[in-house]
Amino acid sequence: MKIIIVGCGKVGMTITEQLSNEGHDLAVIDLNNGVIHDATNNFDVMGVVGNGASYNVQMEAGIEEADVLIAVTASDELNLLCCLIAKKAGNCNTIARVRNPMYNKEINFIKEELGLSMIINPEYAAATEISRILRFPTAIKIDTFAKGKVELLEFIIAEGSLLHNCSLIDVAKQLKTDVLVCAVERNEEVIIPNGSFVLHQGDVISIVAPPRNSRMFFKKIGVDTHQVKNAMIVGGGTIAYYLAASLLNMGIDVKIVEKNQERCEQLSELLPKAVIIHGDATNEDVLMEEGITHCEAFVSLTGIDEGNIFLSLFARNQSKAKIVTKINRISFDDIINTFNLGSLIYPKYITAEYIVRYVRAMQNSIGSNVETLYRIIDNKVEALEFVIRENNGIVGIPLEKLNLKNNLLIACINRRGSIIAPNGQTEIKVGDTVIIVTTQKGLQDIKDILKE
């Protein structure tokens, strides 16, 4: 597809990289000549230097032939204007990044009145993911499918766990819980396991199951599944505001440490039930005085990645809290993963997931489209949910007779709200949503699960 991306910041570059890898015809627009130069050097894209809200600049980028325009500049209003002009000039689909909490309650009105295909708020999406983790702190990461009826949980097998040295067949027999281990990371290698695969302590494993089944599974292996009772958040930015509001609604006590006096006053008005502390969290005395040793969750959300990393390391040494670390810019993933920073949150990747999912769904709006897309285990594995809209060659055939690609697992089927753990005799039917977990990247349609 022909796609135009306006804004080449962190999010814009991440989207450009992922859509370029999927083979789309891309044009990028930015006022900064340097970032356009970087984009055209690193990816197979056309670059245009200029204001993305300019009709002439959009025409130069090829808006008349474009299928989608994605506006992710630093300004909400500029993004909306870019989309409005694109609708008039090219009549294409439009996606805008809108971050200001002021607009959050008006999103549906803005989307409808401006004819936008999608509005994405990276900070709100990141806060939603963090609150999901704090509801179930054992997990490193939690994603949901089938409108919340199925969860994909990622966690580390602890030292001394019942799962250590158990094959997946033995786990199923002994625990008698209906969960599916769909991916395992061991020593940087990712495996889509079969029944004979033996688990070891230290493995990062991903399981797929309805929430009730996953909780029963954790209970049987002796792992606590209760949500945290309190959380300390360092940094009072937009993510912190959305997160605190969500946690307070869940009945979790919230304390925010923020060094800007004016922002503290704003947060006190916006979040009257939260405790707002004016202080510099890089001073360990401040954190000790505010009770870091007793908090059940510690979330570092400052604007400086290095600061977040050091804060999380300090919290890990001083408490038994569930730790969540926001990373915006640093790309040294291999080094970061050695620090044991708890759950890592990358707002730019969350945003890119939403947009890539929408683009894939657009390509297959008639047949089987991607309803949900998540990247797990450091983006090495994709978990996708396809909607089966027509009889397309795999419907009505037992799964054991399908010639599936390697390193691919049919993890779950949602049939009109009933969750099915598939076996070899299970058949996919029209109307199902099917969850696929695979190391194969870029699946566009359910038929792509088959070998050619």
Position 408 scores a pLDDT of 92
- Lowest-confidence region among 55-69, 188-202, 212-226: 212-226
More confidently predicted of 444 and 218:
218
Name the residue among 119, 153, 190 with its Cα closest to residue 354. 119
What is the pLDDT confidence band of residue 366, given thresholds at 50, 70 and 90?
Answer: very low
pLDDT given at position 363: 66
pLDDT surpassing 80 at residue 331: no
Architecture of domain 2-120: 3-Layer(aba) Sandwich (3.40)
What is the average pLDDT value for the chain, to the nearest integer? Answer: 89
Q: Which of 65-69, 160-164, 352-356, 388-392 has the highest mean pLDDT?
A: 65-69
Residues of the chain with CATH 3.40.50.720: 2-120, 230-345
Numbered ranges of CATH 3.30.70.1450 in the chain? 367-449
Please write the tens of the pLDDT for every residue from 271-311: 999 999 999 998 889 999 999 999 999 999 999 999 999 99
Read off the pLDDT of each residue in 359-382 and give the average, rounded to a whole number: 71
Mean pLDDT within 58-66: 94
Confidence tier at 333 by pLDDT (50, 70, 90): low
Return the pLDDT at 13: 92
Summarised one tens digit per residue, pLDDT across range 4-15 is 999 999 889 999
Bridge partners (DSSP) of residue 277 are 257
Mean pLDDT calculated for residue range 363-377: 66
* pLDDT digit string, tens, across residues 92-141: 999 999 988 888 888 888 888 888 888 999 899 999 999 988 988 888 88
| pTM listed for this prediction | 0.81
- Whether the per-residue pLDDT at 365 is higher than 60: the answer is no
Half-sphere exposure of 252 toward its Cβ, with a 13 Å CA cutoff? 28
Per-residue model confidence (pLDDT) at position 265: 96
Class of domain 230-345: alpha beta
CATH of domain 367-449: 3.30.70.1450
Cβ(128)–Cβ(116) under 8 Å?
A: no
Strands 297-300 and 275-278, bridge-based pairing: unpaired
